Amino acid sequence: MQNDTATARSEARRGWVRGPIRPFRFAQYRLLAGSLTLGLLAAGVWLVALVWQVIEIGGGPAQLSLVAAGPAVGIVLTSLAGGVLADRIPQRSILLVVFGARAALVAFAALLAVTGHVAFWHLALVGCAVGLANGFHYPAYSALLPSIVPPRDLLAANGIEGVLRPMCMQAAGPALAGAVVAVWSPGVALGLVAVLEAGAVLCLLALRPTPVRRDLTVESRHPLHAAVVDVAEGFRYMVRTPWLLTTLLFGSMTVLLLMGPIEVLIPFAIKQIPGGGPTDHAVVLAAFGVGGAVGSLAMASRRLPRRYLTVMILMWGVGCAPLAIVGVTGSIAVMAGAVFVVGALFSAPTVIWGTLLQRRVPPHLLGRVSSLDFFVSLVFMPVSMAIAGPVALAVGLAPAFLLAGTLPIVLAAAAIVAARMPRDELEHPLDVTVEQVPT
């Protein structure tokens, strides 16, 4: 760590380290970023391998829906508990268990697949178990990052995650899975997932343990009682913190309005275009992912905006506006351009949001608040996908996209006013001018 500190101070004096390159000065961050990259690649491979494994054993849309629902259900069940543990147990230990469990679970599924013994219920159970493990991942990662990256570099570190997530999960991982499935089989692709997860474990084993940023020496309650009290404390903090409560409410409503049209309605909009088909759908989804990566990288390359709350909410709200074009355009290129902008303007403020939580939420509450953020997003995502179809049938495809593109703007303005964000962000500036290096 002394070498990391000396390097950071030397480069800061020379002034040549900028933007998303800065966090890589720290060896501990490089290890954490390595585990994150391998985990995201594994998730991207898993998504494609799972689909083709279901198809290989004779499954259709109903079976695939059942199997695909397992991870989502698992995450919802454990995300709040994940926040409690992230504030009580060293986060590195939690991540080791998460990656190790996922490696073992998927290796079991791969063994069943390559030996010809896999069934739908095997895949559903393994998927649900993987989801249960995933519920502990995000809170632990979010709480660990500020322990190894100084405040000045948190925006860049969160931007790196914002770039890695779409590039690995939506581009590199699926492409790698497709190649492996084409050359060998879905079972071999599942085995590759287990290998990538095991690689992430090796990165975490090399990561130096960090203590929990919370004093638990006076804890005397029963563990179950303590867990309930912890969750309640997280909810109380959320309710009495206007910028946090309002942003979570706004964010959950935006997810409700946005994800259903993107995931469910875009294929039908493509079908309305002469010649539109699956290849065009892949192009449009890729444009959304690339837009997200570009937006995250652009935000990570800048200083945190002084008006960070207002900029964040406005970008989320206004960024949904291009969806209105999707329902009326007759061009795949225009549609891809529209969702590229949506992806960029949706991901860029997410970088601000992650940094904001890590900078303004007290360290001993960060795991629980991160899990609340994760929980509300997950809860409304399947609801959005469930109601998108009926809404489109009731009002039409173009009006449904128009609602998804315009209502978030109204909600954004209401959120800014309700939480008095312009005053709050000036009273709590987050621009750091002095280099701070973790000890």
The residue type of 164 is: L
Angle formed at CA 83 by CA 136 and CA 149, multiple of 5 degrees? 85
Q: Tell me if 432 is assigned to some domain.
A: no
Of 385, 357, 390, 362, the C-alpha closest to 373 is 357
The predicted model gives 153-170 an average pLDDT of: 79
What tokens were used for 78? 């454990």
Whether residue 343 sits in one domain with residue 246? yes
Q: Tell me if 230 is assigned to some domain.
A: no
pTM for the full predicted model: 0.70
Q: Residue 315: pLDDT above 90?
A: yes
Total number of domains in the chain? 2
Q: What are phi and psi of 74, to 5 degrees?
A: -60, -45
Whether residue 241 sits in one domain with residue 202? no
Q: What would you measure as the largest C-alpha separation in the chain, in angstroms?
A: 68
Residue ranges of alpha helices (H) inside 116-185 are 120-148, 154-166, 173-183
Q: Tell me if 96 is assigned to some domain.
A: yes
The boundaries of the domain holding residue 134 are 2-209
Q: Taking a C-beta distance cutoff of 8 angstroms, is the pair 287, 344 a contact?
A: no
Whether residue 241 sits in one domain with residue 115? no
One DSSP character per residue, 311-378 reads: HHHHHHHHHTTTHHHHTT---HHHHHHHHHHHHHHHHHHHHHHHHHHHHHS-GGGHHHHHHHHHHHHH
Q: Taking a C-beta distance cutoff of 8 angstroms, is the pair 350, 306 a contact?
A: no
With bands split at pLDDT 50, 70 and 90, how would you rate the model's confidence at 284? Answer: confident
Whether residue 201 sits in one domain with residue 103? yes
Domain boundary among the residues 174, 209, 244 is at: 209
Whether residue 192 sits in one domain with residue 69? yes
Q: Which of 110-119, 158-167, 310-319, 421-430 has the lowest mean pLDDT?
A: 158-167
Q: Taking a C-beta distance cutoff of 8 angstroms, is the pair 175, 41 a contact?
A: no
Q: Residue 295: pLDDT above 70?
A: yes
Q: Residue 324: pLDDT above 50?
A: yes
Q: Tell me if 316 is assigned to some domain.
A: yes
Whether residue 101 sits in one domain with residue 61? yes
Domain boundary among the residues 156, 190, 209 is at: 209
Whether residue 372 sits in one domain with residue 256? yes
- Average pLDDT, rounded, for the chain: 81
With bands split at pLDDT 50, 70 and 90, how would you rate the model's confidence at 413? Answer: very high
Whether residue 115 sits in one domain with residue 251? no
Q: What is the CATH number of the domain that holds 379?
A: 1.20.1250.20
Domain boundary among the residues 169, 194, 209 is at: 209
Per residue in 353-411, pLDDT (tens digit) is 888 888 888 877 777 777 777 777 777 776 777 787 788 888 888 999 999 999 999 99
Q: Tell me if 216 is assigned to some domain.
A: no
Whether residue 156 sits in one domain with residue 77? yes
